[in-house]
Structure 1
Amino acid sequence: MTHEIDVFWSFRSPYSYLVVPRLIELERDWDAQVNMRPVLPIAVRQPDFFANADPLWTTYLMRDCVRSAEFAGMTLRWPRPDPVVMDFATRTYPKEQPYIHRLTRLGQLAAERGRALPLLRAISHMIWSGETDAWHEGDHLARAAASAGCDLAEMDAVVSAEADRLDAAIKQNEADQRAGGHYGVPLMVYDGEPFFGQDRYDQLLWRMQQKGMARR
């Protein structure tokens, strides 16, 4: 029996970036199927979400995500530019967002085509690893997509033509995410049980093994 998990994932989350290699290993090494479910970041869904957050929330996040990357043997630098534009004066997020909707639609389209993990790995690495400045310019995105076996120009054409349909699918992902037991990312849901955060991956693997998941 193939063991399926739904993974609710965001391009703006450093922890989503960090978990992708482990999900690739999960499908490679175990009788598992990973269903990637791209969602918009909470900052876009609820633009005032962070406005009243304690300042320690942000300072801890910045320290922890870099430490978590180091622990995982990965590099991490806050993206340039941030996939979500923020008004630093008000600590809110304007409605007009030039990057995140395109990225999330591309992720949803890749998921529908069975190419989500390689595409999300390639693009999130480009955005978060610190190896690329101005990831949104030039041919950076196109080269990342090509490395995952995808044609960015063709996918962008579909995204443009089918934006409403893709947005509806993303909205459904967000509804299913909450139904799965949490609003944050990455959220991994297996057999009705939610595992929130990349640091719950080992518990997820343990539970799947407990329920009979075998090595390939």
Structure 2
Amino acid sequence: MTLTADLFWSFRSPYSYLAVGRYRALAASHDVMIKLRPVYPLAIRQPDFFERNHPNWLSYTMRDMIRVAQFHGIPFGPPRPDPIVQNVTTRAIAADQPYIYRLTRLGQAAARRGKGLAFAHEAGQLIWGGVEDWHLGDHLAGAAGRAGLDLGELDAEVVADADALDTEIAGNQVALEIAGHWGVPTLVFDGEPFFGQDRIEMAKWRMEQKGLRAR
């Protein structure tokens, strides 16, 4: 029997990126279907989040995400550009956000086709893997193609169906909170949330208790 799980995920979250490839590999090697459920990042949902954090939060997070990537051998570089336009000094979030809405809607459109996990992984490797100007040229088209998708088709849907996509994305956020968490990456399996890139093995362990088998 194929197991199912939901992965709540953000294109701006470095830890989401550090988790998605490993979850994709798990879905490829084992009899589990992991459905991507993208949400808007905290910078959009709670713009004052960064202002309220301890001053050490950002520097520690930067150090930690780099060593996690090194530990797992995952390519990692600063996003160029950042999916969120933010003042590095003041941490203020800009009113104009040209990237994150398109990315998140693209992710939801991919999820509608059952290929959200693959698209998130491929796009994440561009954004967080150090590709400069990932938003220009054919970078995203290549990512979509590697996920078995057509970027032109996705972008057309993002424009024509933006409100419905945003309603689905908002529903993802509600579902995440109902499941017992608020942050990403969170995998929800059998009603149980597993938050963070360091809970993948524990999520797999729980799935094995419920009958997870290698393909």
TM-score in terms of structure 2 length: 0.96
User: Which amino acid in structure 1 is aligned with residue 11 of structure 2?
Assistant: F
Report if aligned partners of 1:105, 1:166 keep a CA contact under 8 Å in 2.
yes
User: Which residues of 2 match residues 98-109 of structure 1 at below 5 A?
Assistant: 98-109=98-109
Is residue 2:81 matched to residue 1:81?
A: yes
Is residue 2:142 matched to residue 1:148?
A: no
Give the structure 2 partner of residue 208 of structure 1.
207
CA displacement, residues 154-193 of structure 1 (integer Å, 9 cap, x when unaligned): 2111110000000000000011111111111100111111
User: Which residues of 2 match residues 162-173 of structure 1 at below 5 A?
Assistant: 162-173=161-172
In structure 2, stretches of 5+ residues that fail to align are none
Report if aligned partners of 1:16, 1:198 keep a CA contact under 8 Å in 2.
yes
Deviation at 1:208, TM superposition (A): 0.7
User: Which residues of 2 match residues 1-216 of structure 1 at below 5 A?
Assistant: 1-130=1-130, 132-216=131-215
Counterpart secondary structure, 1:102 = helix
Report if aligned partners of 1:47, 1:94 keep a CA contact under 8 Å in 2.
no
CA displacement, residues 102-146 of structure 1 (integer Å, 9 cap, x when unaligned): 00000000001011122111110011111x111112221112212
Deviation at 1:7, TM superposition (A): 0.5
TM-score in terms of structure 1 length: 0.96
User: Which amino acid in structure 2 is aligned with residue 176 of structure 1?
Assistant: A
How far apart are the structure 2 equivalents of 1:143 and 1:25? 20
Count of paired positions: 215
In structure 1, stretches of 5+ residues that fail to align are none
User: Which amino acid in structure 2 is aligned with residue 181 of structure 1?
Assistant: G
Percentage of identical aligned residues = 53
How far apart are the structure 2 equivalents of 1:45 and 1:139? 30
How far apart are the structure 2 equivalents of 1:8 and 1:18? 13
Task: Find runs of 4+ consecutive structure 1 residues off by over 2 angstroms.
Answer: 87-90
How far apart are the structure 1 equivalents of 2:154 and 2:27? 24
How far apart are the structure 1 equivalents of 2:204 and 2:149? 29
Counterpart secondary structure, 1:133 = coil
CA root-mean-square deviation: 1.1
Counterpart secondary structure, 2:163 = helix
Counterpart secondary structure, 1:51 = helix
How far apart are the structure 2 equivalents of 1:111 and 1:27? 15
User: Which amino acid in structure 2 is aligned with residue 149 of structure 1?
Assistant: G
Deviation at 1:28, TM superposition (A): 1.6
How far apart are the structure 2 equivalents of 1:75 and 1:66? 9
Shifted more, 54-63 versus 23-32: the winner is 23-32
Deviation at 1:95, TM superposition (A): 2.9
Report if aligned partners of 1:44, 1:95 keep a CA contact under 8 Å in 2.
no
How far apart are the structure 2 equivalents of 1:185 and 1:81? 21
User: Which amino acid in structure 2 is aligned with residue 97 of structure 1?
Assistant: Q
Q: Structure 1 residues 56 and 128, CA, compared in 2 at 3 Å: closer, same or farther?
A: same
